[in-house]
Chains A and B, each alone.
Chain A
Amino acid sequence: MSDPIPLRSEAAPECRTCGAGAPVDEHFCPNCSRILALGRHGDYFSFLGLPRKLTIASAELERRFRELSRKFHPDYYYNASPAERLASLERSSYLNDAYRTLRNPVSRVEHLLAIEGLPSSTSNQGTTKVPPALLEEVFALNEELDEIREERESGADPAVLGARLAAARMPIDRKRDEHERQLQELAMRWDSQLAPSVVEGELASAQEKRATLDALRERLLERNYINNLLATIDREAASLAALRLADARSGRALP
Chain B
Amino acid sequence: MSHVVGIDLGTTNSLVAYVKNGVPEVIRDQSGDALVPSVVSIAEAGTVFVGREAQRRLLTSPSRTVYSVKRFMGRGIDDVQDEAALLPFSIGGEAGGVVRIGVAGREFTPPEISAFVLKELKHRAEEFFREQGEFDFEVDRAVITVPAYFNDAQRTATRDAGRIAGLEVLRIINEPTAASLAYGLDKKNRGTIAVYDLGGGTFDISILKVEDGVFQVLSTNGDTHLGGDDIDQMLMRMVLNEIGGSAGSASHGISAQRDPAHTEVHRDPAHSAPMGADAGQVPPSTEAIRGGPATLVQAIRKAVIQAKLDLSEADTAEIRLDPSRELPNGYTRRITREEFEALITPLVERTLGPVRQALEDAGLEPGDIDEAVLVGGSTRIPLVRQRVADLFGRKPHTELNPDEVVALGAAVQSDILISGRREMLLLDVTPLALGIETMGGVTSKIIVRNSTIPASGREMFTTGVDNQTAVDVHVLQGERELAADCRSLARFKLRGIPPMPAGLPRIEVRFQIDANGILSVEARELRTGIEQTIEVKPSYGLTEGEVERMLIESFEHAEADVEARLLIEARNEAESVILATEKALRSPDLDEVARQDLKPGELERIRTAVADLKQAMTATDREIVHDKTHALNHATQHLAEVMMNRTVREALAGKNVTDV
Interface membership of chain B positions 167-197, coded 1 if the CB is closer than 8 angstroms to chain A and 0 otherwise: 0001100000000000000000000000000
CB-contacts of A81-95 with B (<8 A): 89-90, 92-94
Q: A75-B426, A76-B422 are in contact. Are A92 and B454 (CB under 8 A)?
A: yes
**With a CB–CB cut-off of 8 A, which chain A residues contact B426?**
75
CB-contacts of B365-380 with A (<8 A): none
CB-contacts of B284-308 with A (<8 A): none
| A1 and B457 contacting across the interface, CB-CB below 8 Å | yes
Partner of B510, one of A7, A74, A89, A92: A7
Whether B360 is near chain A, meaning CB under 8 Å from some CB there, is no
Whether B420 is near chain A, meaning CB under 8 Å from some CB there, is yes
CA distance A69 to B515 in the complex (A): 12
Do most interface residues of chain B lie in helix, strand or loop, or is the interface mixed? Answer: strand
Partner of A96, one of B171, B212, B413, B453: B453
| A79 and B211 contacting across the interface, CB-CB below 8 Å | no
Partner of A79, one of B420, B425, B515: B420
**With a CB–CB cut-off of 8 A, which chain A residues contact B454?**
74, 89, 92-93, 96
Task: State how many angstroms separate the Cβ of A85 from the closest Cβ of chain B.
Answer: 10
Q: A75-B417, A97-B455, A100-B452 are in contact. Are A70 and B515 (CB under 8 A)?
A: no
**In the complex, what residue of chain A is closest to B508 when comparing beta carbons?**
A5
CB-contacts of B511-567 with A (<8 A): 512-515
Task: State how many angstroms separate the Cβ of A142 from the closest Cβ of chain B.
Answer: 24
CA distance A76 to B420 in the complex (A): 5
Task: State how many angstroms separate the Cβ of A248 from the closest Cβ of chain B.
Answer: 23
| B425 and A75 contacting across the interface, CB-CB below 8 Å | yes
**With a CB–CB cut-off of 8 A, which chain B residues contact A73?**
425, 427, 515
Partner of B515, one of A7, A74, A94: A74
**In the complex, what residue of chain B is closest to A66 when comparing beta carbons?**
B214
**With a CB–CB cut-off of 8 A, which chain B residues contact A92?**
454, 515
Task: State how many angstroms separate the Cβ of A58 from the closest Cβ of chain B.
Answer: 11
| B514 and A74 contacting across the interface, CB-CB below 8 Å | yes
| B451 and A75 contacting across the interface, CB-CB below 8 Å | no
CA distance A96 to B447 in the complex (A): 12
Whether B458 is near chain A, meaning CB under 8 Å from some CB there, is yes
Query: What is the size, in residues, of chain B's interface with A at 8 Å between Cβ atoms?
Result: 29
**In the complex, what residue of chain B is closest to A79 when comparing beta carbons?**
B420
CB-contacts of B322-373 with A (<8 A): none
| A96 and B455 contacting across the interface, CB-CB below 8 Å | yes
Whether A8 is near chain B, meaning CB under 8 Å from some CB there, is yes
**With a CB–CB cut-off of 8 A, which chain A residues contact B422?**
70, 76
Whether B416 is near chain A, meaning CB under 8 Å from some CB there, is yes
**With a CB–CB cut-off of 8 A, which chain A residues contact B514?**
74, 89
CB-contacts of A60-81 with B (<8 A): 62, 66, 69-70, 73-76, 78-79
Task: State how many angstroms separate the Cβ of A185 from the closest Cβ of chain B.
Answer: 24
Whether B38 is near chain A, meaning CB under 8 Å from some CB there, is no
CA distance A232 to B454 in the complex (A): 36
Whether A99 is near chain B, meaning CB under 8 Å from some CB there, is yes
Whether B456 is near chain A, meaning CB under 8 Å from some CB there, is yes
CA distance A74 to B515 in the complex (A): 7
**With a CB–CB cut-off of 8 A, which chain A residues contact B211?**
62, 66
**With a CB–CB cut-off of 8 A, which chain A residues contact B457?**
1, 97
Whether A3 is near chain B, meaning CB under 8 Å from some CB there, is yes
Whether B220 is near chain A, meaning CB under 8 Å from some CB there, is no
| A66 and B456 contacting across the interface, CB-CB below 8 Å | no
Q: How many A-B residue pairs have CB under 8 A?
A: 67
**With a CB–CB cut-off of 8 A, which chain B residues contact A78?**
170, 417-418, 420
**With a CB–CB cut-off of 8 A, which chain A residues contact B416?**
75
**With a CB–CB cut-off of 8 A, which chain B residues contact A1?**
448, 457
**With a CB–CB cut-off of 8 A, which chain A residues contact B214?**
66, 69-70
| B452 and A96 contacting across the interface, CB-CB below 8 Å | yes
| B458 and A3 contacting across the interface, CB-CB below 8 Å | yes
**With a CB–CB cut-off of 8 A, which chain A residues contact B427?**
69, 73
Task: State how many angstroms separate the Cβ of A44 from the closest Cβ of chain B.
Answer: 13
CA distance A62 to B190 in the complex (A): 13
Which of B171, B211, B451, B456 counts the most chain A CB atoms within 10 A? B456
Whether B216 is near chain A, meaning CB under 8 Å from some CB there, is yes
CA distance A62 to B455 in the complex (A): 17
CA distance A94 to B216 in the complex (A): 17
**With a CB–CB cut-off of 8 A, which chain B residues contact A5?**
458
**With a CB–CB cut-off of 8 A, which chain B residues contact A76?**
420, 422
CA distance A3 to B509 in the complex (A): 13
**In the complex, what residue of chain A is closest to B170 when comparing beta carbons?**
A78
**With a CB–CB cut-off of 8 A, which chain A residues contact B171?**
75
CB-contacts of B188-243 with A (<8 A): 211-212, 214, 216
CA distance A100 to B446 in the complex (A): 13
Interface membership of chain A positions 1-22, coded 1 if the CB is closer than 8 angstroms to chain B and 0 otherwise: 1010101100000000000000
Interface membership of chain A positions 92-131, coded 1 if the CB is closer than 8 angstroms to chain B and 0 otherwise: 1110110110000000000000000000000000000000
**With a CB–CB cut-off of 8 A, which chain A residues contact B425?**
69-70, 73, 75
CA distance A93 to B457 in the complex (A): 9
Task: State how many angstroms separate the Cβ of A49 from the closest Cβ of chain B.
Answer: 17
Task: State how many angstroms separate the Cβ of A173 from the closest Cβ of chain B.
Answer: 21
| B452 and A99 contacting across the interface, CB-CB below 8 Å | yes
| B418 and A100 contacting across the interface, CB-CB below 8 Å | no
CA distance A3 to B446 in the complex (A): 12
Interface membership of chain B positions 384-428, coded 1 if the CB is closer than 8 angstroms to chain A and 0 otherwise: 000000000000000000000000000001001110101001110
**In the complex, what residue of chain B is closest to A5 when comparing beta carbons?**
B458
CA distance A81 to B514 in the complex (A): 17
Task: State how many angstroms separate the Cβ of B598 from the closest Cβ of chain A.
Answer: 67
Task: State how many angstroms separate the Cβ of A89 from the closest Cβ of chain B.
Answer: 5
**With a CB–CB cut-off of 8 A, which chain B residues contact A99?**
452
**With a CB–CB cut-off of 8 A, which chain B residues contact A90?**
456
Which of B170, B418, B458 counts the most chain A CB atoms within 10 A? B458
CA distance A62 to B212 in the complex (A): 11
Task: State how many angstroms separate the Cβ of B511 from the closest Cβ of chain A.
Answer: 10
CA distance A8 to B456 in the complex (A): 11
Task: State how many angstroms separate the Cβ of B556 from the closest Cβ of chain A.
Answer: 31
**In the complex, what residue of chain A is closest to B424 when comparing beta carbons?**
A75
| A100 and B458 contacting across the interface, CB-CB below 8 Å | no
Task: State how many angstroms separate the Cβ of B24 from the closest Cβ of chain A.
Answer: 16
**In the complex, what residue of chain B is closest to A72 when comparing beta carbons?**
B454
CA distance A32 to B299 in the complex (A): 67
**In the complex, what residue of chain B is closest to A7 when comparing beta carbons?**
B456
**In the complex, what residue of chain B is closest to A77 when comparing beta carbons?**
B420
CA distance A205 to B514 in the complex (A): 43
**With a CB–CB cut-off of 8 A, which chain A residues contact B413?**
75
| B458 and A94 contacting across the interface, CB-CB below 8 Å | no
CA distance A96 to B455 in the complex (A): 6
The contact sample of 27 A-B pairs, CB cut-off 8 A, is A7-B512, A8-B510, A62-B211, A66-B212, A69-B214, A70-B214, A70-B425, A73-B425, A73-B427, A75-B171, A75-B413, A75-B416, A75-B417, A75-B515, A76-B420, A78-B170, A78-B417, A78-B418, A78-B420, A89-B512, A89-B515, A92-B454, A93-B512, A93-B513, A96-B452, A100-B451, A100-B455
Residues of A within 8 A of B (CB): 1, 3, 5, 7-8, 62, 66, 69-70, 73-76, 78-79, 89-90, 92-94, 96-97, 99-100
10 closest Cβ contacts across the A-B interface? Answer: A96-B452, A93-B456, A93-B454, A74-B515, A78-B417, A66-B214, A92-B454, A96-B455, A7-B456, A89-B454
Residues of B within 8 A of A (CB): 170-171, 211-212, 214, 216, 413, 416-418, 420, 422, 425-427, 448, 451-458, 510, 512-515
Q: A3-B458, A92-B454 are in contact. List 12 more A-B contacts (CB 8 A).
A: A1-B457, A7-B456, A69-B427, A75-B416, A75-B417, A75-B426, A76-B422, A89-B514, A90-B456, A92-B515, A93-B454, A100-B452
